[in-house]
Structure 1
Amino acid sequence: MLLRAALLLLVLLLPTLSARAGQLDRAALEKYFPPPLVVGEKDDRLPVWPILKQQAGAYEVFAYAFESVDLAPIPGFGGTPPDLLIALAPDGTFRDVKVIAHHEPVFLEGLGSEPLFAFVEQYAGLSARQAIRVGRPNARAAGAAPQTTVDGISMATASTRVINQSILASALAVARAKLGFGAANVGLKVEARADLYEPLTLADLVARGWVGRLTVTNAHAASAFKGTGVEDRAEGRPDAVLTDLIVAYLNVPTIGRNLLGEVRYDALMRELGPGNHAVMVISAGPEDAPENPIGDRFVLGAVPERLAVGQGGLIVNARDMAVERRDAGRAEGLPPGPWTILRIDQAAGFDPSAAWVLAETIVRERGQILSEKIARAFPVETKLPADLFTRVRPEDGPNWTDPWRARGPELGLIGLMLAVLVPVLSRQRGLVADGRRFALFRLGFLALTLGFVGWYAQAQLSIVTLVGLVRAATVSHDLAFLLYDPPSLVLWVFALAALVAWGRGTFCGWLCPFGALQEFVALLARPLRIRQLAVPARLDRALRPVKYVVLVGILGAAAAGSPLADTVSEVEPFKTAITLSFVRSWPFVAYAAGLLVLNLFVYKGFCRYLCPLGAGLALLGRARILDWIPRRAECGSPCQLCKVRCRYGAIAPSGRIDYAECFQCMECVTIIHDPEQCVPQVVARKRAHRAAPRPVTVG
């Protein structure tokens, strides 16, 4: 009846609830971007706000601001997407990331939101062109690449992966629309083939188009500046050279080794590092060329003001490498003029196997009092053959595949545990029939459940997942959040399959870490001389429905979009005792500890009377197809041994098993297969012994 009421409530609420949208207007954004920054007009096609900054008398785009929930509403483990304010610079780097709202259970009244705030701050300065991954806590300090890795948060691995995916997916949506690049090159790794080398002269390389040459004469400049009033500023003949540059991509051995020599090339590649790129620019014009950008004013180690590398209509960040100029070892035949080697970092998303340009900007001034600067760019394109490179595409598939690969060892051990558990429970005349050996096996398995599944793998199943499912059904209509926590998902699939075969008890009695913790605490009752209480039958019957009322209340609040769902879910102590290992504020610790103390007197009282997850599993377990616990005709009448021994109260006086309350401890199965314990077998054996003729002594 209670389940029908909960389902009816969900059906009624489904049409009225819609997916969340961004909540920030111009006034709210101005608080995040105060003067001298200015919030521009919201884009007509995309929910993006340009953030402007005054530069040289004009406003330039400082960043594009947007909310992740508008562009990538990926549900978190609370069932609703996190809402993040992201500021993306025109070059594709993150200016800032802020948390606007979230419903991640591990941070709500758990770790607190501060670790989450610190987590998203790591994205400032990283590039959306890179495939950024969440590492382990302190991964950067341990040597992980700081350009492609952010430190994870202990006990919040799955939630941080959802946050990371939300940031990257929404940023790439903006990048495709505003910055001219998208997901195609994110994570793409292009490297020059080291095994290809051919001795060639500079003239050969230029003839093949592998080395570019940019020559700008007075006539070319006049044509570019035509109509501006400054086209005739150059002195000399029309064919006089203003600038003459040689441009070469050095990573390719046939280019770099021929231009630099083998020793200098090898040294440069070591200094450059894997994944990065080097472009050489040499001035080949006369020393007095008026527009030479690499003259005496060039600052070593700086970003050249008048030189720019571009690809796909986007400027690529390139900086002088400050290579030692003395004894540089340049090959013979190169012009003697000034030169630079520009470094392009891997994070820039530069693809040397595709066409790219180097452009020199020439600036002229017009007017004497209020002068106006007029600039024109003169590009030279380089297109190298694709077979000079190896290209490694980003791994196919959505980013939820990353945690499955990263947690492979944990999944392997969990799979082994389940593979061992199934035959042990299904072949009852094997290990289960031996009371002593089975008791040792059960304690060992529960120790793995508590220590490995719970505290290490963080795979404690919880009502929070059901809350997330309800919110996904009513708000986001997306169940992808389940894929970011592989161990929990595997256990959910197994638990649901076990419901059909055996009922609730497989999870509650074997795979619940908090349930295992209660069983170990209960072992202290005997040495502490604590006598566990038997709950009177009438009180037991009155208390059992409470967990169903709690379940309906939580799911109803979730369906109604009420934050009470998160609050009431704290009736579960799982987050405190297992996920956070009791590292939490004292009221939550006191509550969890109180339930464990109660367990010393009333065996698994929380599981039997309060647990909403257990209630949900018990309801679903009514689809069970097997009555798998063996019974005898004498069970219940006259034998009551199994009923007396059952600490869960799952056996009725008639001997019938109440599978909704059975925790599959298997003690009754051990008894019924043990001829020394099972009363009908003991009685039958005694009767047979009395009926047998006794030997008579003849004197």
Structure 2
Amino acid sequence: MVRLVLLLLIALAPQARAGVMTREALQGHFPAPLSVGEKDAQLPVWPIFRQELTSTVLAGYVFESIDFAPIPGFSGTPINLLVALDTKGQFLDVKVLSHHEPVFLDGLGPAPLFAFAGQYAGLSLRQNIKIGSNSNRGSQAGSANVYIDGVSKATASVRILNQSLLASALRVARAKLGFAAGADPDRVARVRQDTFRPMDWQALVAAGLVQRVRITRGTVEQAFAGSGVEEGVDAGRAQDSFSELYLAYLNDPAVGRNLLSEGGWQHLLGRIEEGDHALLVIATGAYSFVDDRFVRGAVPDRLTLQQGELPLELRDLDLDDPLKLPPALQGADSKVLRVIGPAGLDPARRLDFALRVTRQKGMLFGERVSRSFAVPYQLPADQVIVPESTDKGWQAIWRSRAWELAVLAAALALLAMVLARPRWIVATPARLARFRTAYLVFTLGFIGWWAQGQLSIVNLTATIQALVAGRSLDFLLYDPISVALWAFTAVTLLVWGRGTFCGWLCPFGALQELVAQAAQRLGLRRIRLHRSTDARLKRLKYVVLVLILALAFSSPVWTDRAVEVEPFKTVITLNFVRAWPFVAWAVGLLLLNAFVYKGFCRYLCPLGAGLNLLGRVRLLRWIPRRAECGTPCQTCRHRCDYQAIRPGGAIVYEECFQCLDCVAIHDSPQRCAPLIAQGRQRVIPLAPAA
């Protein structure tokens, strides 16, 4: 029966959505002098035309991101964007057509999401677009790196939007705008960082790390033969040097650290963004790659670079750090040129530099004649790492949150050690209370409010919706803290059951317990429900779980509403800054908890119900018991605030929150009734005096 119900739900579930826009609807977004053409026959894109006097010119293309990069959002449903690109890869417009991001539905509202998407207008695919702040930020079209503002409390959602936008736009640009020859910036080879060893100039040349290309006068004159601008050269001077270029890839530590001082090397690293390429060019001879009019920080007009068929922009980094060059090159023209990461340069492939030589013919109406001379450079194969994976997008997020993950890993390791060997912690009630309170404060403050690591039933519904629609689960990786917590929770479910997460690592659960402690200090009397009433109410959370999972298979809209039974988004993600009904619900649950201990966790939480079911496969019955537990001793049962101990003394592990209180009682000669009785029996009464 259950299998038939699941099959029916899957059959009714929505499939992966496609674009919804029509030409008529798009025309409303692009009024005159723009017009929208017919939809492309091969790709779901529409051309945009601009009327200029009597002619109509192609202005760009418009498309929906869901047709090219349906990356699931935090809810498991893709964000759909309307994207317009001009013919040079610049964003004309970016608008959000639809989304199911929980934090932007009834939390922050959609306005911050719309404003975030609006920042892309005027930026270019050839720029390195980063989310965050930087003292050198700019938004000029010619700037290599631009920084856009993120949205607090919605880090994962805006990064998924960013990835959806760039992935879809690059696919269109490669197909329609001549970007086809470029490599995906996240799939190019990376320069090894472990190859440094001290080398002088000659050793660098011998190792192929610095490469020399010599262009003779004879070669140049032969190229201009028949052009009318030949200068002629004696046979004896044909082998003289016209231009001699030295090329090196400074990102390689074996090159950069040997040609620059340590301070210069660090300065270089500080001037380029991750993924950028710094290339050193040195020229000697009669003809240089820059002329006397060259402006620092500009693009050299005599030197070009392409890789395959892709042209790449070279721009002077304007570095003044001295280079360790041989005496013969001390006065030569030298520049450090940058290629930005999004351009798609692959350091494992040959770099095809070209030196352009231009001569003028005629005086009154002069004609310029140019020839280009190949200057190839190939970084040795042992200096690069070819990527083995095509995964992209989330790796940078993990790197940027490395310190948070390190703190979390240390905290989880500490918790695992305490739970595996609790004897020292439970030695005294005060020690256990101090440790538990301190850890709950850490869970609430760091895991919850700081790192936004609140696990939620939304994680499960999003996974279900993505699987049913045949989409990838990569979107989960955009929230590394949650991934780490889920991994730890999965392991501890097998070992101890649901109590590790629910009792120690749930931020809202931690807040409830801290509120309950405060209520007791204020003298509020806690209500303990009758055992049968408590048992019936605990079944309610399974009903809530089943309803939410059923909706996840059939209705994303109603799923978004149903998951609001969890107050996590209101309390942890948004810090109560939300519409009053959601705040009232969250505050009401906290007030209930002051009288009915952890009422939400025990009776309503759908995530707790899911973990309860999964935790039934645990390997250990880790709470020690004695024959006297339950018969006759009832101390632990009466002290258990979760009511997870049966009258017979058996532990209901599915409802246990692993607070260690019963473990502390069990090991205490002062609190455990059987141990107290044993102690009394050991006391031998003295015989009365004669």
TM over 0.5: yes
Deviation per residue, 1:442-465 (Å, 9 max, x gap): 111111111111111110100110
Deviation per residue, 1:449-508 (Å, 9 max, x gap): 111111111101001101101101111431111111111111101111111111111100
Contact 1:310 1:358 in 2 (8 A): no
Equivalent in the alignment of 1:499:
493
Contact 1:576 1:584 in 2 (8 A): yes
Query: In the alignment, does 2:467 pair up with 1:466?
Result: no
Structure 2 counterparts to residues 4-43 of structure 1, below 5 A: 5=2, 9-16=5-12, 17-43=14-40
Equivalent in the alignment of 1:109:
106
AA aligned opposite 1:694: L
- 1:540 deviation in Å? 1.7
Equivalent in the alignment of 1:49:
46
Equivalent in the alignment of 2:396:
402
Length-normalised TM-score, structure 1: 0.75
Equivalent in the alignment of 1:150:
148
AA aligned opposite 2:19: G
Contact 1:87 1:97 in 2 (8 A): yes
Contact 1:599 1:605 in 2 (8 A): yes
C-alpha change, 1:26 and 1:315, in structure 2 (3 Å) is farther
Equivalent in the alignment of 1:329:
none
AA aligned opposite 2:686: R
Equivalent in the alignment of 2:327:
none
User: 642, 653, 671: which one pairs with 1:648?
Assistant: 642
- 1:131 deviation in Å? 4.8
SS of match in other structure, 2:63: strand
| In structure 2, distance between residues paired with 1:402 and 1:485 | 11
- 1:693 deviation in Å? 3.9
C-alpha change, 1:90 and 1:434, in structure 2 (3 Å) is same
Equivalent in the alignment of 2:179:
180
Equivalent in the alignment of 2:262:
none
C-alpha change, 1:378 and 1:609, in structure 2 (3 Å) is farther
Deviation per residue, 1:175-194 (Å, 9 max, x gap): 22122335516377999xx9
| In structure 1, distance between residues paired with 2:67 and 2:357 | 37
User: 169, 172, 180: which one pairs with 1:171?
Assistant: 169
Equivalent in the alignment of 1:591:
585
Query: In the alignment, does 2:604 pair up with 1:610?
Result: yes
Deviation per residue, 1:642-688 (Å, 9 max, x gap): 11111111111111111111111111111011111111111222233
Equivalent in the alignment of 1:336:
none
- 1:606 deviation in Å? 0.6
Q: Which one is further off, 546-555 or 173-182?
A: 173-182
C-alpha change, 1:47 and 1:249, in structure 2 (3 Å) is farther
Deviation per residue, 1:613-635 (Å, 9 max, x gap): 00110111111222111111111
- 1:316 deviation in Å? 6.9
C-alpha change, 1:143 and 1:688, in structure 2 (3 Å) is farther
Q: Which one is further off, 521-530 or 573-582?
A: 521-530
Contact 2:215 2:243 in 1 (8 A): no
C-alpha change, 1:680 and 1:304, in structure 2 (3 Å) is closer
- 1:346 deviation in Å? 4.0
SS of match in other structure, 1:62: strand
Q: Which one is further off, 643-652 or 350-359?
A: 350-359
SS of match in other structure, 1:559: helix
Contact 1:312 1:356 in 2 (8 A): no
| In structure 2, distance between residues paired with 1:319 and 1:487 | 38
Contact 2:461 2:549 in 1 (8 A): yes
Query: In the alignment, does 2:366 pair up with 1:383?
Result: no
Deviation per residue, 1:294-314 (Å, 9 max, x gap): 9xxxxxx99999x99988667
AA aligned opposite 1:11: L
| In structure 2, distance between residues paired with 1:152 and 1:395 | 29
Q: Which one is further off, 519-528 or 344-353?
A: 344-353
Length-normalised TM-score, structure 2: 0.76
| In structure 1, distance between residues paired with 2:592 and 2:224 | 86
- 1:406 deviation in Å? 1.0
Deviation per residue, 1:519-560 (Å, 9 max, x gap): 111112223221011112332222111111111111111110
Contact 2:247 2:377 in 1 (8 A): no
SS of match in other structure, 1:451: helix
Structure 2 counterparts to residues 547-586 of structure 1, below 5 A: 547-586=541-580
Structure 2 counterparts to residues 365-514 of structure 1, below 5 A: 380-386=371-377, 397=389, 398=391, 399-514=393-508
Contact 1:140 1:150 in 2 (8 A): no
Equivalent in the alignment of 1:99:
96
Contact 1:433 1:669 in 2 (8 A): no
Structure 2 counterparts to residues 323-362 of structure 1, below 5 A: 346=340, 349=343, 353-354=351-352
Deviation per residue, 1:11-59 (Å, 9 max, x gap): 3232454211111111121122222112122222221211111346433
SS of match in other structure, 1:525: helix
| In structure 2, distance between residues paired with 1:404 and 1:112 | 27
User: 525, 536, 550: which one pairs with 2:530?
Assistant: 536
Structure 2 counterparts to residues 118-133 of structure 1, below 5 A: 118-133=115-130
Structure 2 counterparts to residues 278-357 of structure 1, below 5 A: 346=340, 349=343, 353-354=351-352
| In structure 2, distance between residues paired with 1:500 and 1:590 | 36
Contact 1:139 1:150 in 2 (8 A): no
Contact 1:250 1:278 in 2 (8 A): no
SS of match in other structure, 1:106: helix
Equivalent in the alignment of 2:666:
672
| In structure 1, distance between residues paired with 2:190 and 2:479 | 32
SS of match in other structure, 2:653: coil
C-alpha change, 1:39 and 1:431, in structure 2 (3 Å) is same
Contact 2:353 2:377 in 1 (8 A): no
Contact 1:252 1:388 in 2 (8 A): no
| In structure 1, distance between residues paired with 2:75 and 2:506 | 20
C-alpha change, 1:403 and 1:344, in structure 2 (3 Å) is closer
- 1:586 deviation in Å? 2.0
Equivalent in the alignment of 1:368:
none
Contact 2:144 2:340 in 1 (8 A): no
| In structure 2, distance between residues paired with 1:662 and 1:476 | 36
| In structure 1, distance between residues paired with 2:444 and 2:23 | 50
Equivalent in the alignment of 1:697:
689
Q: Percent identity?
A: 48
- 1:206 deviation in Å? 6.2
- 1:572 deviation in Å? 0.6
Deviation per residue, 1:56-76 (Å, 9 max, x gap): 643322112111111111111
Deviation per residue, 1:574-612 (Å, 9 max, x gap): 111111112222221221111111111111011111111
SS of match in other structure, 2:59: strand
Contact 2:644 2:655 in 1 (8 A): yes
**Structure possessing the higher radius of gyration over alpha carbons:** 1
AA aligned opposite 1:385: P
Contact 2:544 2:606 in 1 (8 A): yes
Contact 1:88 1:96 in 2 (8 A): yes
- 1:277 deviation in Å? 9.4
C-alpha change, 1:27 and 1:358, in structure 2 (3 Å) is farther
| Unmatched 5+ stretches in structure 2 | 192-199, 206-212, 231-241, 249-266, 292-296, 318-334, 361-366
Equivalent in the alignment of 2:252:
none
SS of match in other structure, 2:351: coil
Contact 2:500 2:658 in 1 (8 A): yes
Contact 2:630 2:648 in 1 (8 A): yes
- 1:252 deviation in Å? 6.2
Give the CA RMSD over aligned residues.
4.6
C-alpha change, 1:350 and 1:70, in structure 2 (3 Å) is closer
| In structure 2, distance between residues paired with 1:380 and 1:240 | 11
Q: Which one is further off, 474-483 or 447-456?
A: 474-483
Contact 2:425 2:431 in 1 (8 A): yes
